[in-house]
Each structure stands twice: as C-alpha cells, then as structure tokens.
Amino acid sequence: MTLSSHLILRAEVENGSDSWLQDPALVRYYPFEAGSGGRAEQLAGDGVGSLMLVGNSPYGEPEDIYVQKWKGPIVGTEWRPGRKPGTFSIRPGEPRESVIHSLFYETDSGTMTLEAWLRPESKGTGPYVWAGGAFHSGYVLGQSSGNFSWRIATTDEPKTVYAPMQPNLWYHLVASWDAEHQKLLLYVNGELAAEEKMEADFIPPEFVADRFNAPERDKGGLRIGGFQSSQVGAVPFNLDELAVYSRLLSPEEVRERYEAGKPQGSVEEQLAAFEVEQAKQALLEEIQMEIPADTYGYFPRGSEIPVTLAVPANPFWTGSLEASWRIEDLMGNTVSEGQRELSIREDEGATDDFMVTLPECGLYFLQIVLNDETGEEIDSVEYPLGAIVELPPLEEQPESSPLASHEIVTRGPEAPVLGFGALERIIRGPRRVAPGEYDFSSMDEIVGEIRGRGLDLMLCINSVPKTLDEDPDSEVFNLVEYKDLMTQLVRRYKDDVQYWEIVNEPNSGHHGKTLGTNNQDRAQKYVAVLKAAYEVVKREDPEAQVVGISGCPGFVPWLDAVMAAGGGPYFDIVTIHNYRTSPIQNSARKQEVLKVREILNQYGKDAPIWNGEFGIKQPAPVDGRPMTDEDFYETYEGRLNSTYGHQFLSGFMPVVPPEVSAAWTVQTILLDLADGCERVFQLAGAGNVYPFPVGYGRPSEKGVAMAALAEVLLPMASVERIPTASIRDAAVLVTTLDGRRIAAVFSDDEPELMFRAKGVKVLKGMDIQGNPKEWPVDDEGVVHIETGMSAQYIFDVPEGFAQIPIAEVLADGVMEAGRLDGVVALYNPGEKEKVYRLDVELPGGVSLECEEEARVSAGETVEVPFILTAEQLKRGIHELSFDVLDAKGRLLAKTQYMLTATDATITIPAFRVPVPLVADPANWKDVPAVVVNQVDYVLSGKPVPGVPWAPQWKGEWDLSFQYRLAWNEEEGLCLLLEVRDDQLRPAPEEDVKRAFLYDNLELFVDIRPPSMRRSGYSSGVEQIMVQPVVEESAGEATAFSMVGDSSALEIRFVGRLTEEGYIVEGRIKPKEDSPWTLEEGSTIALDILMDDADKDLRKTIMGIGYGGLENAKNTSNWGWFELGPPPSR
C-alpha cells in the first residue's frame, strides 16, 4: 500500500516518512487506498477497526442484516477516483449506513477531532460520519440544506454549528469537540468556519457491545453513510480520507494540512473534472460483463455458462479493447483463461458472447478485466462460482424429500437450486392494530412470495397471548382473541399453508411473561395455547397439520414436560431444534433424537419428528475467498469453545471453518435422518456467513456439498445407521424410492475403514462435493475407504455391506483397587500378514502397560493384553481409546472403551517447607496444576446452541481455572486457584451471605473419618465461601464457613487480580478438637465449585468433576484425597 499521495497528515513529514502514524493521539486513520474489495484498512495504532464496506454480491443479494428490511438490493458502497490522480475514494451506499465495524466510540481524553477529505454531491440533508445520531448521544458530521453541519448530543440539547458548502468540490473538513473549554469547532479548507461554546456536557455514543462478546458483530460506534433508522437522510458523497484524534489540531496544523493535501485546479476546473468523472461513471454502469444471476452462481458441472460482454459507444474508451478472463479454483490455480476483443467507436459499441465451463464440482472464481488500448484497466468484476451435480428442477423433486429450508436466511432461488427448497419454514405473526384487528400486509407479501416460487409452506405463528384468561371483553390479547386470530389466519392462508407450527421455541424464555420461567409451568401454559390453536386449525382446515413442541436445545425434557401436561392430543408433528457441534460423537453419545422417540412411545404418541432448525455457520470470506482454517483459528484465538476435540466459535449458532461447516452440515442431516427425523430444516443456508445473520448471496463449499447430498436424499425412502466400531466414525445407508442402496461414510479422524462388499469388483460413488470416485473390492470382498469429516458416498452397495472391525477392547468395565486388566483384539481380514501399531489416548491420572506392536496373520485375531493403573483418576466414567495404525503410520481404525472408576483416591503432595500466603503461583512450581476449562466441567449454564442470548458459559475465556492442592503440618491444607474470568462481579457487602449468586469460590470439605462418611451432612462437613479480591496486590479475602461459629476449621484466604481474572490462595487447618489430623496417610473428601456472574446472577457454575449441584445436600460424590509425601523432583 502506498500513502505518498495522501498528505492531510503529512505536511510536516519529509522524505516519505510515515512517523506520523505513531502519533499517540491518532486513534483511527483510513486512507481508502485499496481501490477494490469490501474492506478499508485502519492504519493507526494497533490497526483495530478496519471498515467493512457493505454492498451486494454479484448476484444482487445484500450482505448484511441492516438491509434485510429494504425491498430489493441496496446501492452498495463503491470505489471511486480520489481527489488526486491515481488515488481512490469511497462512495458510501444508500439508503442506510454501509461502512461499518470501526469499533470506535469515543476518545479517552474526551476531546475528539474528525479530519476528512470529502466531496458532497448534493445540497440535501444527511450524515457523512457519525455515531449515535447526536440527538440522545453521539455526534454527526454531515450536511444540512446546503451547509456542512457538526452536531453533538449534550446534557442540555443537541448543539450544531454550520458552514456553507458547494456540491461537487473536494473539501478538507476538521470537526472538533474541545472537552476542556466545551467548544464545538468546524474548519473548512484550512479556515475556522464556525465555533460555539456551551455550558452543557457532551454525551458520548452509547457503547453497543455485542451480546455474543464478538466485536466483529458490533455495528455501533463510528459509521459512514446514511442513518440506520430510516431511508430518509442519506446523501451522496465521496470520502477520500478520514482520521480521528484524541486531541485538537492547532489552526496552523489545519492550515498546513489543507495546503499540502488540496486538489489541483481551480473551482471551475474541479467542477469540469467532476462532470467528466460522472459521465465516465455513468458509462461504466452501462458496461456489461455478466453471467446469469438467477441461480446465485451455482451451475451444473460441465455445463456451458454464458458470459456477455457489452461496451456502448462512447468518447472515452475507443479502439480495440481487450477483455481478459480467468477461472481459478479454490487453491488459486488457473483452470482456464482467454482473451476477447471488442472494437469500440464513438458512435458504435460492441457486444461479445462466449461460454466457460467448470470441469469438476467445487468452488471457482471467474475474473474478467476490461482494458483500453494502452493496457490501462477500465473495469473489472469477479464472480464466485459453484459447480454442482445436476439436480432435477423443483417441480420434479419428490414431495417426500426430507430437505427443507428456512425463510430467514434463504429468501431467493438458492435453496431450491441446491435441492433444499420444496418446503420452507417461516416465523411470522400479523401486527395487532386493535383488539381483534390485524395488519396482514407483511405476511401476505412473504406468503405470496414463497408460494409464487412453487414452494410448500410451514407457517410458525409466534404470537402468544399475554394472558390465558378468556374474558371476551378484555382489551388485553388473551386466549379468546388468540383463537380469533388463529381463525382469521387459517381462513386467510388455508390454500397456501400446509403446516401450522405453534410458537417458536416456547422453552427458550422468549415468552416468559406468558408461559412462565420453568419447564413445568411453561408446559402447562403452552399446552393451553397449543390446544386452542389445534382446535381452530382442525375446524377450519381438517387436512392441515399442526406442528408442536418446537423446542430449542433442551428439547428432550421440554417434550417430556409437554406430554406430562397433556399436550399429546394437540399436535400431529414434533419439531425439535437440534443445534449441535461435532455431530458424529454428539449424536452417538447423547442420542437425543432417539430419546424424543422414546418419550413419544412412552405416552403412546405416534408422530413424525422433524428437525425444524439447525445450522452450522461459516465465517465471512476474506478478500472474496473463503477463510482458511489457519486464519479462522488465528482470528478467533482465545474465544473458541471445544467439544470432543473440535474447536468452534459460539455465535448465533456454531461457527467453524468453511470446509468443516460443509462437512458438519452433511453429517447432521444424515445422522438426524438415520436416528428418526423425517425432515430437516436448514437455518444457516449455503450463503449464510458469520457475522451476518442473513444470506451473503455467494456460492460456498457448503452449497456445493448440499447439492451433492440432495442428489442422494431427494429420492430417499429410508435412512439407517451402519454400525461402526468407533463412536468417532459414522456410516449410514440410504435406500431410495426405486430400491437403490447408497452408503455415506465419514469420521472425526482420517482412517482407512474396511467394509464387507461381496459380489462386486468395484464400487462407484462420489466425494462430498459430487465428484466421481471408485473403490476397488479385493478378492476377499473387502473394500478400503479412506475417509474423514467430509462424507464419501458409495453407490449401489450390496446386501451385507458392513464395517469389518479390526480392533475391539475386551475388559470387565470396572476399575477396582486402581487396576483394570484387559486385551485389545486385533483382526486381519487381508490375505497377508499385517503389522499393527497401537497408539492410546488415556484419561488423565492413569498409566498403561501394553505392547505397542503386534503381528497378525491373514484371517487371524491376536489379543494384546494391557494393564491400566490409576494414579490420580477421578471417580466416574472415563474413555480409553486405541488407535490402530499400519506399518506406514496410516490410521486404520479407532476403538473406544468406557470404564468406570469406583474408588480412586488422589494424593495431595506435601510442601517441604511452609509457603507464604501471598497469592503467588511461583511458590507452587513443584505442585502440578489440574486444569478445568472444558464444557464437560460446566454444571450449570452449559452452552445452548441456537439460543445465544440465554445466560450460559461461552468458553474458557468466560470462566475457567486451574487448581493446585498441597499440605503442610504447620499450614494445613493449601489451595491455589488461578481463575480466568472476563467479567469480575463479586457479591456486594450487603449481599455477601448470598455470595454463591456472584463470582465466588465454593469449597466443600468432608473431614469425617472414612468409616463415618455418608451421603448426608453431619459434623465435619462444611461449605466454605470465598470472595475474589478486586485489588492488584494480594489482600485478605472474605471467606467464611456456612456452619458459622461451629466450624471445625481455621480458614484463611487471600487473593488478587490478574490480567485475565484473579487468584485465590488459602489455608484450611483443623482446630484442636477436629477429627481430622495433618499427617501423611490422612484422608479428606473435597469438591470445588466456581460461581460466575456477569450481568446475570450466577450465570455459570463449573466444578472439578466430582460432586455437582447437589453438593449442599449430598456428599457422596466428592473426590477422595489422601495426604501424601512431597512431590518428587
């Protein structure tokens, strides 16, 4: 990037030095030098706050939720020529702000200066640069009726200064708020044009911190372009540079910068140049470099894609113009390229049509550049393309298709093009004008649009009565009016709506005022609403289906509560919202769809199960290309969660790299269908990217994979699981309506799985994108399938197609006295001897004795013995996993074994000498730490995918900790906790007895002799509360036992703040009459809970894996510890 042409900040800089960027008062600087793309770099300070330029995809779809309400495409932000030759500016889009994500609100000093080079194009009224709107808070630099305006919000009323302007000229504006002298200052072209002193204080813009703790979703702060709230007020202008300072610029600085940076030419010459620029711009808008847009850039593999080039007659670009085109694949490799020539005269234009093709299924990019006779670029465009398998048109797709879409993110042709459009779900309710009167106009429009595209419709009515009373004269929206509303809805849309879903996610808390705050209360009230709706629908349209439950994650107990409340007779179909990560292991371990069927069976209800919402988001592209895995993990480092070894970002729904998003989407759909769902509604569609809640309008890897999946599932008759030896592998069998058998195989690892496939020599199929593949079958009828997270589809598999398990763990399942004996049985299905290597993944706190290699003859099984010994294994269920590799190190199989540890005792090492109580981890370097940072340790507030607004654990940055235990005869039991917590909120002094509702340590101690320990509380069992210290230096912490003066323990804790949270260190010593003695071999039962409160009281509770939420009543699950010798050095 060159900055040599930008001089507003550089009047004092010689020889091209960029030292001005080091000015500590410069908090934002945007030179707008890129000239293309959707990003404007921020160069001041740490570079945070680069701008996103909101526009449209090449296929006309808006990129951001801000434009969701506007009909049709917005006018996107455009790159234009700058005020000097060879430079660039931006022309913000309309009708709303379209340059966002500055992450800037106000300066630390209170004083602020905005400096800009810009060119207005009208005398209208509207903002250029603003935050907060400057009525109740914030500031606006803009124009008003032919004048520049600089307005701020104050504690009195908004204050504004004005200065005259003339459209179509470049201006240097410096707008300042002098906090010390309470003055507004506005300079125009180097001169002070307006100032006003006031008595009131400036009200800075309200900080709109993103509710998901994600700055990339923060659209508040400084923005460029029209106001968010209205179409009225956007004005056209060009912005060449923008800088923000936390200080005033002196009059001399302002003058020098204007002189150094002003454009060449007189006023008349500038106006003439503007007219030429406008004429060229109008011509550019007539130039065509186009491909068909009605399929969102998806085209069948191998099909011819028409490209149209057209340049009108014009006086600027004549002669022989060259249009060069190039198609790149996802890796940047050239697939095809060429040149076309167009001969243009002032009185005659030219058109050229040609075809391009995409050889394989996948993601591509078509670049077209139009150059003049000198080789200078006139215009360019890039089209992302998705080559997909060819699918039948919508009207020929079977009505039984299990693939459905969701209106929120799939408006337009994308979903039907990919095979997901036969049925669409929308969530709507009319606007209540008066009791019994409704405005249906918005609903009429969307229902008409969807039905006009030939789609069937499931309408979720999310209107819920405010009260369940049945007073017909009530002014409040009650159950009587709700029945009337449902009657009006069904009568109005009975020819369009096949399925009526009653309330979206009633268990989420959205409808708390009506439905209550706990499952039992909600269920009873929801059943009343469901019953009312069901009776109306069946009376008005007996053929229509009523869809109920609609539960967000947590839907299993929700369904149970609804059925217990008598809801069974009042729905025909059950919908669940099965958001999840790591679909293979999640479905295998939790089996939630199967549990839904069990509950329905328990109550004698036979109803189809639909997954009414799920989504796996992908991140927004970077410079037009999918974000790489490396960029994803680097961008979101420190904010990622993990389940079963897979990292993801918690957004509105899980966010993962593009390839993973495609793979998990396919896995979720196949596994849900195999487990008993009959339909799946995709919420995060192919073009949906984070951080945007709506469609991005561009092809994606996920879209290509969705089309391939649709080829398999559109003619589906049934889906069932093919058993696999490892819960990290999955396989399903799809049987089509014409009896064809298609297997899909995928894994959390990258194994080479073996399947029995007798009677065939070769199996054909395709990869996840739809590209053809073949697998040879050996003479023994064995096929080897290398797989991974991306599904492999194997067509026409024979009867008996099944995995050949080559490894199995055989043991008794229970570890007693700290030891488990077992064997790994290894099978060789081949024709030659094989050498197998064993790698093992152990739970923490155990050691393993086992041979690492085994030779197995053809067709034989060898048993490899092992001994598992507990060292510090926690009591409970643990997973032992063996990897089987061949001699070259290739993964052949994984096998897991679940073992139960019944009586593990953990040794607490002794301090050799007393350690000072100063909250310093350096004193504990010889004592190993136990890390608690995974979702499995979350006891309350577990993440709820799809319901991010609910109070919940958001990752290890939100709350995690590590603890160390030691002991010393003089000090007693010693404890050190290092806590990571992004928001510290200890109990106020007046509420310290309820410390557990705030940030707090709960230490549970049972010092009773082992023979006297039982599940209930008695003398010797105590719950200790410890508050964090909110000082940087170590200080005494508030700590007390819940048994008060009858405590058998002496308790002392200290603490201090750290960069990421806080430290707590404490000592617990038995009093003289205590039954517990401090000597080697003495035992104690312990548990630790960490309470976390952000804005919500006790949002999260994390434990160390022993007891749980019943600790205040039940001691039986606490960890058993023994005082041991000093740690070995």
Q: Which of 716, 744, 761 is the last residue of a domain?
A: 716
CA angle (370 as vertex; 369, 375 as ends), nearest 5:
105
Closest among 1054, 1007, 1058, 1052 to 1032, alpha carbons compared: 1058
Q: Which two tokens stand for residue 162?
A: 């004005």
Closest among 600, 56, 158 to 177, alpha carbons compared: 158
Tell whether 495 and 550 lie within a shared domain.
yes
Tell whether 873 and 894 lie within a shared domain.
yes
In this prediction, residue 670 carries a pLDDT of 98
| CB contact burial 86-98 (16+ within 10 A = b; e otherwise) | ebbbbbbbbbbbb
Distance CA 32, CA 560 (A): 58
Least confident of 109-118, 680-689, 1047-1056: 680-689
- Model confidence at 562, pLDDT cuts 50, 70, 90, reads very high
Q: Which of 699, 716, 733 is the last residue of a domain?
A: 716
Q: Which of 355, 388, 421 is the last residue of a domain?
A: 388
- Could you tell me the pTM of the whole model? 0.84
Tell whether 1083 and 1119 lie within a shared domain.
yes
Tell whether 253 and 265 lie within a shared domain.
yes
Tokens 């707590």 correspond to what residue?
1064
* Identity of the highest mean pLDDT range in 416-420, 500-504, 644-648, 880-884: 500-504
Considering the chain, what is the average pLDDT of its residues?
88
Across 238-259, average pLDDT: 96
- Count of CB atoms situated within 10 Å of the CB of 469: 11
Distance CA 133, CA 140 (A): 6
Tell whether 915 and 1005 lie within a shared domain.
yes
**3-state DSSP assignment of residue 977:** strand
Tell whether 953 and 887 lie within a shared domain.
no
In a domain, 1, yes or no: no
Across 49-53, average pLDDT: 85
**3-state DSSP assignment of residue 1085:** strand
- Model confidence at 1, pLDDT cuts 50, 70, 90, reads very low
Amino acid at 226: G
Least confident of 401-415, 536-550, 587-601, 681-695: 401-415
Is it the case that residue 1012 has pLDDT exceeding 90?
no
pLDDT digits (tens, 9 = 90+) for 629-652: 999 998 888 788 888 889 998 877
Residue 937, phi then psi, degrees to nearest 5: -85, -10
Is it the case that residue 36 has pLDDT exceeding 90?
no
**3-state DSSP assignment of residue 1089:** strand
**3-state DSSP assignment of residue 120:** strand
Tokens 């024709």 correspond to what residue?
831
In this prediction, residue 213 carries a pLDDT of 53
CATH number at residue 827: 2.60.40.10
Beta-sheet strand order (sheet of 654-655): 640-643, 646-650, 654-655
| 885 or 624, higher pLDDT | 885
| CB contact burial 853-866 (16+ within 10 A = b; e otherwise) | ebebeeeeebebeb
Least confident of 398-407, 810-819, 920-929, 941-950: 941-950
Tell whether 667 and 814 lie within a shared domain.
no
Tell whether 867 and 922 lie within a shared domain.
no
The reply to whether omega before 95 is within 30° of 0 (cis) is yes
In a domain, 364, yes or no: yes
pLDDT digits (tens, 9 = 90+) for 960-1001: 999 999 999 989 999 999 999 988 999 998 888 888 999 999
- Model confidence at 14, pLDDT cuts 50, 70, 90, reads very low
pLDDT digits (tens, 9 = 90+) for 120-140: 999 999 999 999 888 889 999
- Count of CB atoms situated within 10 Å of the CB of 1079: 10
In a domain, 791, yes or no: yes
Q: Secondary structure of the chain: what % helix, strand, coil (to 5)?
A: 15, 40, 45
Q: Which two tokens stand for residue 1082?
A: 């003495």
Distance CA 234, CA 244 (A): 22
Distance CA 176, CA 371 (A): 44
Distance CA 365, CA 281 (A): 25
pLDDT digits (tens, 9 = 90+) for 965-974: 999 998 999 9
In this prediction, residue 1031 carries a pLDDT of 94
CA of residue 1032 relative to chain centroid, distance: 34
Across 362-368, average pLDDT: 97
CATH number at residue 488: 3.20.20.80
CATH number at residue 195: 2.60.120.200
Is it the case that residue 211 has pLDDT exceeding 70?
no
In a domain, 96, yes or no: yes
Read off the DSSP letter of residue 171.
E
Tell whether 918 and 1060 lie within a shared domain.
yes
Contact at 8 Å (CB) between 163 and 184? Answer: no
CATH number at residue 739: 2.60.40.1180
- Model confidence at 413, pLDDT cuts 50, 70, 90, reads low
Count up the domains in the chain and report the number: 6
- Model confidence at 1097, pLDDT cuts 50, 70, 90, reads low
- Model confidence at 81, pLDDT cuts 50, 70, 90, reads very high
Contact at 8 Å (CB) between 869 and 818? Answer: yes
Tell whether 1041 and 892 lie within a shared domain.
no
Distance CA 930, CA 949 (A): 31
- The set of long-range contacts for 445-448, using a CB threshold of 8 Å and a minimum separation of 24, is 446/407, 447/493, 447/496, 447/497
- Model confidence at 15, pLDDT cuts 50, 70, 90, reads very low
In a domain, 660, yes or no: yes
Tell whether 347 and 454 lie within a shared domain.
no
pLDDT digits (tens, 9 = 90+) for 754-785: 999 999 999 999 999 999 999 999 988 999 99
Residue 528, phi then psi, degrees to nearest 5: -60, -45
In a domain, 14, yes or no: no
pLDDT digits (tens, 9 = 90+) for 671-706: 999 999 999 999 888 888 887 765 667 899 999 999
* Domain housing 759: 718-801
pLDDT digits (tens, 9 = 90+) for 661-675: 999 999 999 999 999
- Model confidence at 753, pLDDT cuts 50, 70, 90, reads very high
Is it the case that residue 536 has pLDDT exceeding 60?
yes
In a domain, 249, yes or no: yes
In this prediction, residue 96 carries a pLDDT of 58
CATH number at residue 995: 2.60.40.1190
Closest among 96, 51, 102, 48 to 76, alpha carbons compared: 96
Distance CA 943, CA 211 (A): 14
- Model confidence at 5, pLDDT cuts 50, 70, 90, reads very low
Read off the DSSP letter of residue 50.
P
**3-state DSSP assignment of residue 589:** helix
CA of residue 701 relative to chain centroid, distance: 17
Which helix or strand (DSSP H or E) is residue 531 part of? helix 519-540
Least confident of 285-289, 308-312, 595-599, 692-696: 692-696
* Identity of the highest mean pLDDT range in 355-359, 405-409, 909-913: 355-359
Is it the case that residue 1067 has pLDDT exceeding 60?
yes
Tell whether 451 and 544 lie within a shared domain.
yes
Of the chain, the percentage scoring pLDDT greater than 70 comes to 92
In this prediction, residue 8 carries a pLDDT of 42
**3-state DSSP assignment of residue 825:** strand
In a domain, 12, yes or no: no
